Amino acid sequence: MTVYDELLAHQRQIEALSQISGRLGWDQETMMPRGAATQRAEEMAALEALLHERRTDPRIGDWLDKAVALDAVSNANIRQIRRAYERNIRVPGPLAAEIARVTSIAQGVWADARRDQDVAAFLPMLDHVVRLKREEGAALARGGDVYDALLGDYEHGATAADLSAMFGALRPRLVALRDQIRGKPVPPAPHGSFGEEAQLALSQKLALTFGYDLSRGRIDKAVHPFSSGSGSDVRITMRTDPSDPFNAIYSTIHETGHAAYEQGIDPAFALTPLGQGVSMGVHESQSRIYENQLGRSRAFTGWLFGEMREAFGDFGIDDPQAFYASVNRVTDGYIRTEADEVQYNLHVMLRFDLEQALMRGDLTVGDLEAAWNDRFLADFGAAVDKPSNGVLQDVHWSVGLFGYFPTYTLGNVYAGCLHAALCRAVPDLDADLARGDTRRATRWLRAMVQQHGALFEPREVIARAIGGEPDEGPLLDYLEAKFGALYGL
Amino acid sequence: MTVYDELLAHQRQIEALSQISGRLGWDQETMMPRGAATQRAEEMAALEALLHERRTDPRIGDWLDKAVALDAVSNANIRQIRRAYERNIRVPGPLAAEIARVTSIAQGVWADARRDQDVAAFLPMLDHVVRLKREEGAALARGGDVYDALLGDYEHGATAADLSAMFGALRPRLVALRDQIRGKPVPPAPHGSFGEEAQLALSQKLALTFGYDLSRGRIDKAVHPFSSGSGSDVRITMRTDPSDPFNAIYSTIHETGHAAYEQGIDPAFALTPLGQGVSMGVHESQSRIYENQLGRSRAFTGWLFGEMREAFGDFGIDDPQAFYASVNRVTDGYIRTEADEVQYNLHVMLRFDLEQALMRGDLTVGDLEAAWNDRFLADFGAAVDKPSNGVLQDVHWSVGLFGYFPTYTLGNVYAGCLHAALCRAVPDLDADLARGDTRRATRWLRAMVQQHGALFEPREVIARAIGGEPDEGPLLDYLEAKFGALYGL
């Protein structure tokens, strides 16, 4: 065995245990009896402690000193292992354990506070989480920027400065587009009876339509849609809303995009650092292009309209064009996850700025709600009516995800770039989509992005796919063209 | 922290990781996509390697040397930890890993061989498993009896000699009873249409009737019924057979018995060595008393008859007495798991003798099929017609379970003793059962057996419950009385 082989064998164990941890997370959200929560927390803590031990094993440092890369794959493996190791040894074990412990409690406190509209009940926990994450960020940053250090966990190579510049370029055109649409009549939403069985069946069909492989995955109901696992066990969840069929449909297509990325990775990378999506931004580019650029296109919704009629009968929308408008309604609303393509990124920007201020100490947790509400009024022209529509709406901060939000918008920007390149590569794509056939689109995405897993750096894999540096232009052009036509601007 | 506290903290990690391993086993049989098998095997191997490392950590030896027991609970914890540690350090790591690897392959080979009726295809694998288990048994036995050493993994304190004596006392009266019944007409089986939904609903009702707590468990379909997990996450599975409703009903009651034991253990023992059933024999006593002495009683089947009629309408049996006879049909058959209460233990004795001979080197794998068929003819008066009805019928040997089979009969003997004691403690039990009310019965079992987990030794917990040493007498008396009356002997 070479030193590299030893290093990789150790890493395979880490990857295998991480997959187990992910599977338990899935179980917790889908299958676990409610009375098992406390015991499960102890089980997970035991596993995480072991994982931490493995991840910070000093032998990794020795192996890294001596390992020799022979090709692009071993080079990328070594790069990814080194990055993770150097990150993990910077965070003291007790701090890592404390973050795990506190965030697992904080999530429950947040859920209760949101239900009870009681911000004050959540603030002490959030304050604790913020302090711990600042400590972690400082340990990671070693004198550099705390927020950038945390952001790097989700998007290696991204910086707040670069993202701010990108968001600065996005904002004026998004706001102008949104403001132009505001004066126009809002297309009607579907109404009717949307039975759960029919929604589940349609969702499954949509997942398969977008290439989801059920022999290496499964679909279950959960409170929140998510995708989990890598390699040959990539599971997705969905939910149904009896009055809104788009909820199930588009969350399923979104999660199928995430799953397609994982399922599309070269099987030779399984249980290695390359065997998973390379970053949250690139992951989101896959879920978003499936959901929006493909799933909400005029061509695809034409086919989907027929499927909807078949599944639900009459739902008050009589032709494909009206259905397309309905799928792409732009409406005022408080909730990020329900936002349309035009306004979604404005919701992200709000969070991006507030969480930077929290992490850099420019905003206290005590002032957070007021800051949120002021900013929401400025950005969206509406006063937040209750905390569950405002500062308590997202789970992220309660579980310590600071630096995660901007990757959503980065994913949208990447999806815009990929879509433009895909349309150049497959000029008659709409003819496929109009038949509900996504095969050429998904094959292109697999070949250009998905199969590589973490072989290339996040920005690099997108640049290779599109043949140039990614920027916000294609997303803005796409949005202005699509919504300009839809709203007659 | 005292030394004992350190020891127990380490052990809690082991217990937590074991629970995770069990949960993954459950997932594999119920939820896992079929394409994930190879990856899962590697994930499990990584977890098992870690568990082995923890279980053989030399610090355990140091802690055990110095730990001081302060009460019965700490005394029992130390006893159980010491026993497991001394067992685990006797088996060389590479041998343990090889057994895990080979048995996981052998199980698949066995399943294919059974499907194809191809004994020869299985024999090389079985030979490998037998050699490894003999090696393990020799390492455990350190000059003592190899079979006893393996048996001790499932039933501490039991010896082949004691079990042989017990089986020797059981056999003549069981054979005499079986032979008397053979001349009598066989009661009819139910016939009709037994829809899956109705079977699932009835099974769930039966599990709840026997006290299964769904807030700390769940019921799913699987190819084979089983119970898994301890503490607050104890899951059971069931299967349905469209032509035989008793399959689902009695396997559910059986698994509920196993689950009731785990769910009934003092919650203070969770994630300690005391927080699980103390042995396979005691475990089986709980599943068997639920399934047979309670579930197949005249009183309970009277209530069940009404439930069956409600669930399935007419199924060709018109009164509770005929239904009782149908539930308790004694018929010829090749398959252990389908055997009636009278003949079940004869199936076990056949395996017990053959596996002892295999482990002690008195029988080669090459001669096993002939030995099985000869013995079956002698014991049951019928020639085995195909391997799936003979030597290939059980999974046990393929996965290395040598010494497991006799615990089934030990469980039946214990169930006989417990039932006799229960009837003394609750003389009007039948009045409850006739209403489908098992609460007084299950409460007694919980108080006398289940709550103690592994606090007492296997035989000891039964002796305490029944107020004397357990033996085969009550089981034989019960069977002779029940089947004597049923068949008019």
Residue B191's CATH number = 1.10.1370.30
Please give the radius of gyration of chain B, using alpha carbons only, rounded to the nearest integer. Answer: 22
pLDDT(A61) > 90? yes
Are both B250 and B165 inside the same structural domain? yes
Are both A180 and A113 inside the same structural domain? no
Are both A475 and A367 inside the same structural domain? yes
Contact criterion met (CB < 8 Å) for A27 and B32: no
Are both A141 and A169 inside the same structural domain? no
Q: Which of B310, B195, B284 shows the shortest CA–CA distance to B248? A: B195
**Beta pairing, strands B219-221 & B227-228:** unpaired
DSSP one-letter string for B61-100? HHHHHH----SHHHHHHHHHHHHHHHHHHHS-HHHHHHHH
Are both B162 and B49 inside the same structural domain? no
Selected residue of B10, B21, B50, B230 to mutate for chain A interface (largest A Cβ count, 10 A): B50
Gap between the Cα atoms of A79 and A77, Å rounded:
5
User: What digits encode the pLDDT tens for the residues B13-25?
Assistant: 999 999 999 999 9
User: What digits encode the pLDDT tens for the residues B439-472?
Assistant: 999 999 999 999 999 999 999 999 999 999 999 9
User: What digits encode the pLDDT tens for the residues B368-401?
Assistant: 999 999 999 999 999 999 999 999 999 999 999 9
- Average pLDDT score over chain B: 97
Please, which residues bridge with residue A236 across strands?
A: A219, A227
Gap between the Cα atoms of B262 and B216, Å rounded:
10
Return the half-sphere exposure (C-beta side, CA atoms, 13 A cut-off) of residue A378: 8
Catalytic member of A255, A284, A355, A369: A255
Q: Last residue of a domain, which of A130, A154, A178?
A: A154
pLDDT at A112: 95
Gap between the Cα atoms of A266 and A286, Å rounded:
16
pLDDT at A344: 98
Q: Is A366 exposed, middle or buried (0-12, 13-18, 19+ CB in 10 A)?
A: exposed
* CB-based contacts of B33-37 (< 8 A; 24+ apart in sequence): B33/A214, B33/A215, B33/A216, B33/A217, B33/A218, B33/A232, B33/A233, B33/A235, B34/A215, B35/A213, B35/A215, B35/A216, B35/A232, B35/A233, B36/A216, B36/A231, B36/A232, B36/A233
Query: Cα B11–B14–B17 angle (5° rounding)?
Result: 150
pLDDT(B101) > 90? no
Measured between CA atoms, the residue of chain A closest to residue B233 is A36
Between helix A3-30 and helix A58-66 the angle, nearest 10°, is 140
Q: Is A159 exposed, middle or buried (0-12, 13-18, 19+ CB in 10 A)?
A: middle
Selected residue of B214, B232, B272, B276 to mutate for chain A interface (largest A Cβ count, 10 A): B232
pLDDT at B388: 97
A5 CB neighbour count, 10 Å cutoff: 12
Measured between CA atoms, the residue of chain A closest to residue B39 is A232
pLDDT bin (cut points 50, 70, 90) of residue A87 is very high
Are both A258 and A380 inside the same structural domain? yes
Question: Sign of dihedral through CA atoms A301, A305, A306, A308?
Answer: positive
Active site residues per annotation of B: 255
Contact criterion met (CB < 8 Å) for A23 and B19: no
Locate tokens 């250009």: which residue? A448
pLDDT at B253: 98
Gap between the Cα atoms of A101 and A92, Å rounded:
14
Residues of B in contact with A262 (CB under 8 A): none
User: What digits encode the pLDDT tens for the residues B309-341?
Assistant: 999 999 999 999 999 999 999 999 999 999 999
Are both A163 and A26 inside the same structural domain? no
- Cβ-contact A138, A146 below 8 angstroms: yes
| Minimum distance, in Å, between the CA of residue B215 and any CA atom of chain A | 5
Q: Which of B238, B233, B197 shows the shortest CA–CA distance to B214? A: B233
Locate tokens 């300690």: which residue? B272
| Minimum distance, in Å, between the CA of residue A19 and any CA atom of chain B | 7
Residue ranges making up the domain that contains B381: 156-489
User: What digits encode the pLDDT tens for the residues A320-344?
Assistant: 999 999 999 999 999 999 999 999 9
Locate tokens 């936002």: which residue? A339
Return the half-sphere exposure (C-beta side, CA atoms, 13 A cut-off) of residue B101: 10
pTM comes to 0.95
Residues of A in contact with B218 (CB under 8 A): 31, 33
Residues of A in contact with B235 (CB under 8 A): 33
Which CA distances in Å does A209 have to A237, A328, A332, A457, B459? 16, 21, 31, 29, 59
Mean pLDDT of B221-229: 94
| Minimum distance, in Å, between the CA of residue A251 and any CA atom of chain B | 21
Which among B20, B213, B217 has the least Cβ separation from residue A20?
Answer: B20
Gap between the Cα atoms of A453 and A465, Å rounded:
13
Contact criterion met (CB < 8 Å) for B233 and A36: yes
Q: How far is CA A168 from the centre of its chain?
A: 21
Are both A277 and A379 inside the same structural domain? yes
pLDDT at B104: 84
pLDDT at A101: 87
How many contacts, defined by CB atoms under 8 Å, are there between A and B?
106
Are both A202 and A142 inside the same structural domain? no
Which among A32, A214, A270 has the least Cβ separation from residue B39?
Answer: A270
Are both B301 and B245 inside the same structural domain? yes
pLDDT at A44: 92
- Cβ-contact A395, A409 below 8 angstroms: no
Contact criterion met (CB < 8 Å) for A232 and B33: yes
- Average pLDDT score over chain A: 97
Q: Note the ipTM here.
A: 0.93
pLDDT(A259) > 90? yes
> Considering its fold, how many domains does chain A have in total?
2
**Beta pairing, strands B227-228 & B235-238:** antiparallel
pLDDT at A104: 84
Gap between the Cα atoms of A220 and B158, Å rounded:
45
Are both A30 and A114 inside the same structural domain? yes
pLDDT at A137: 98
Q: Last residue of a domain, which of A154, A180, A198?
A: A154
Please, which residues bridge with residue B235 across strands?
A: B228
Percent of chain A with pLDDT strictly greater than 70? 100
Locate tokens 């072989």: which residue? A455
| Minimum distance, in Å, between the CA of residue A67 and any CA atom of chain B | 23
Gap between the Cα atoms of B76 and B56, Å rounded:
19
Are both A368 and A229 inside the same structural domain? yes
Q: Last residue of a domain, which of A110, A128, A154?
A: A154
